[in-house]
Structure 1
Amino acid sequence: MRFRVAVFLFIAAAAVSAQSPSTKSVPAPWVGTWAASAFDGDPWHTVPTLVDSTLREIVHTSLGGNTVRVRLTNEFGTEPLRVDAATIGVSAGVSSVDAATLHDLTFGGSPSIVIPPGAEVVSDAVSMAAPAFANLAVSIYLPLQQVSDVTVHSSAQQDNFIQTGNHVRDASFASPVVVGSWYFLKGVDVEATSTHAAAVVTFGDSITDGALSTENANHRWPDYLAVRLQNNPATAHLSVLDEGIGGNCVLIHCVAANALARFDRDVLSQAGVKYVIVMEGINDIGRLHEPNQPDYKLTAEDLEQGLAQLVARAHEHGIKVFGATLTGYKGAGYFTEKGEQIREAVNHWILTSGVFDGVIDFDKATGDPANPLMFAPQYDSGDHLHPKDAGYAAMADSIDLGLFR
């Protein structure tokens, strides 16, 4: 009798064990839907009054979800940063928010939080519909306090708004100051509807940041890529996070920390990152033009070694890296023949070395067949260094979506 009972219990336990994997629900992953690289100071704009003020900052999603969370940052602050209130909602244009979508943000259940110097924080999850390609308005109220060093993403190609006092729940601002930077805002994540959802991080300098693209139009090449991914059923589960910084360098401190120094916080720490597209190095090359830096030396091998380091570090985390060639810049203010030789050598290495998991030839996609050292006229913004909207679209269109397998 005892034997039969023992056998019965064993069979029952085995049946429960066999059923558990199929009945256990798999939680949807958190994936970044929007992000920007934060850095210290604002080299392109005068920093406005930020205390006793509400910052309403507009961000553009790339992947939809029904639950969101917000990342705030004081990574470059030297004092604690106090946030007394914060909200998120769907933008209704300019400084307005659709009141029906407005939700309070909390941090561990509290409406306020103090962010230590050098730190970032993540809000509690908020249940709200955040469609792909929606403009969201994140509003934060900063009470009176000492803010000596701001953490910012300058040159957002996006209008953001500041109003004196606490107005996080206002449907619109009465008399806002318009600013062109994102302050203390690092990212927005969604709890994706697909368990296969993942993020593509685009990592680079001003070309990745969308310099000289149409303001408030989301016409950076990463924006165009996000649309292509969403329109393709095989890649519709992917978001795109733009981690470009205008004036950034791979190996030296130009604007913000160099690419090697910021790679952990701008790429490896992103929610759900699976792929990285790297396009950077033209500002390292451009420094060869500066006569007040006679000791500055750079070779193609220096840049190649730096880029290979990014690949090695990404691979440690199971992230695939696609290398993108540097676009032509003849006619730009810091063009030199030596610099051009380095650019061509680096591009050849990107395309042929086998270091990357895949390659993207932005140089070929945007170059002028009659003058390969320059942008094609229909793609040139006019400064011979940055594309205009059509050039950014051509860059995105040149990417083989089969890379994202």
Structure 2
Amino acid sequence: MAFRGARSTVIPAGGEAVGDAVTLSTSPLENLVVTLYFAGATGPATFHRVGLAASYRADGNHLDDVLAQAFRESSQSSYFLDGVDVSGPFRARRNTVVALGDSATDGVGATAEANGRYTDVLGERLVAGRRNLGVVNAGIAGSMLLTSSSCFGEKGIARFRRDVLDRPGVRTVIVELGANDVGANWSTGPCFPSSHKPVSARQITEGYRALIRAAHGRGIKVIGATLVPLSGYPGYPGHAAKVERLRTQVNHWIRTSGAYDAVVDFDKALADPAHPERPRPGYVYEDGLHPNDAGYQAIANAFELSVL
């Protein structure tokens, strides 16, 4: 890969670099391996904590290595690489679906190396249905709609431009944010700014309206996802009744406001019919909150492909 024809580049702190286009033959759902080489110390690395695919590390320059023997260390996180843009015979069309979300989009609870996130399964459904659409996963575990965090990154209303509006060829965005705003609404600690205060259902829904207006201004369709069941998860301390009341209020707005172009009901897909405030036992990871592979399959199956 080159950068404006050069074999190397320097990325400024807080900046990004885009490589030159490379001609490769690809097939739908094919995996791609990207090897990076850093000639000197990089300092703190940007990374994707819940990569769910192994990243391998080794000292020295292994750009031309075909085999994997040199790579002695591995991690389930990914580093530096933000994404790969793919074009082809349909590049003139808007054919990208962006999933903007938190851990339920990022894939916490899915089996590593198995492409079991709901976005993966949704992509498989689109291929099987001969729908020429690609799915981009812009989920960040812990992400909140209204609050930026030193642990979980920029708030959704701030990163929406970078992660959705500025991507090429976006047709549809799925908005799956707000569960952490609700679940951690009364939390304090090092991950939250000192100014963090509890938010209301109105503030959350106004945040949704801001995203919808911004997307519609670019001609992008917006699909709203209801908030998944939160009860029973020990990671949200106390305030269980208030959390459930707020979640119910937000979900009622998502389902009935008519603000979204379409709604996909993550809550209904995952909820235990006997205890709808909790996830269905067979669909939940061992932490009691996040979907497992079966749960992500249920979420992906809740989409009507025609609305994408």
TM-score, structure 2 length as denominator? 0.92
Aligned pair 1:393/2:290, yes or no? no
Q: Which moved more, 1:386-395 or 1:267-276?
A: 267-276
Q: Which moved more, 1:205-214 or 1:175-184?
A: 175-184
Aligned to 2:214, which of 308, 313, 322? 313
1:302 corresponds in structure 2 to 203
Aligned pair 1:125/2:17, yes or no? no
1:201 corresponds in structure 2 to 98
1:192 corresponds in structure 2 to 88
Q: Deviations over 1:288-346 (max 9, x none)?
A: 34366897222111111111111111111111110000011110011611111111110
How many residue pairs are counted as aligned between the two chains? 297
8 Å Cα contact 1:331-1:383 kept in structure 2? no
2:281 corresponds in structure 1 to 377
Question: Aligned-residue CA RMSD in angstroms?
Answer: 1.6
**CA drift at 1:182:** 1.5
Q: Which moved more, 1:193-202 or 1:105-114?
A: 193-202
The 5-angstrom pairing of residues 346-365 of structure 1 reads 346-365=250-269
Aligned to 1:169, which of 52, 57, 64? 64
Aligned pair 1:212/2:109, yes or no? yes
Aligned to 1:245, which of 140, 151, 156? 140
Residue 176 of structure 2 aligns to which amino acid in structure 1?
M
1:182 corresponds in structure 2 to 78
**CA drift at 1:172:** 2.1
Aligned pair 1:325/2:222, yes or no? no
**CA drift at 1:398:** 0.5
8 Å Cα contact 1:250-1:259 kept in structure 2? yes
Residue 21 of structure 2 aligns to which amino acid in structure 1?
A
Instruction: Tell me, in whole angstroms, the C-alpha distance in 2 between the residues paired with 1:179 and 1:378.
Output: 28
TM-score, structure 1 length as denominator? 0.71
8 Å Cα contact 1:203-1:277 kept in structure 2? yes
State the secondary structure of the residue aligned to 1:262. Answer: helix
Instruction: Tell me, in whole angstroms, the C-alpha distance in 2 between the residues paired with 1:400 and 1:363.
Output: 16
Residue 252 of structure 1 aligns to which amino acid in structure 2?
T
**CA drift at 1:217:** 0.6
- Which consecutive unaligned segments of at least 5 residues does structure 1 have? 1-104
Aligned pair 1:268/2:185, yes or no? no
8 Å Cα contact 1:378-1:390 kept in structure 2? yes
Instruction: Tell me, in whole angstroms, the C-alpha distance in 2 between the residues paired with 1:318 and 1:221.
Output: 25
8 Å Cα contact 2:93-2:169 kept in structure 1? no
| Identity value in percent | 40
2:182 corresponds in structure 1 to 285
Report which of the two has the higher share of strand. Answer: 1
State the secondary structure of the residue aligned to 1:158. Answer: coil
Instruction: Tell me, in whole angstroms, the C-alpha distance in 2 between the residues paired with 1:306 and 1:295.
Output: 16
Instruction: Tell me, in whole angstroms, the C-alpha distance in 1 between the residues paired with 2:13 and 2:185.
Output: 35
1:33 corresponds in structure 2 to none
**CA drift at 1:287:** 1.8
Residue 83 of structure 2 aligns to which amino acid in structure 1?
G
2:6 corresponds in structure 1 to 110
State the secondary structure of the residue aligned to 2:143. Answer: coil
The 5-angstrom pairing of residues 132-143 of structure 1 reads 132-143=28-39
State the secondary structure of the residue aligned to 2:259. Answer: coil
8 Å Cα contact 2:102-2:177 kept in structure 1? yes
Instruction: Tell me, in whole angstroms, the C-alpha distance in 2 between the residues paired with 1:355 and 1:253.
Output: 24
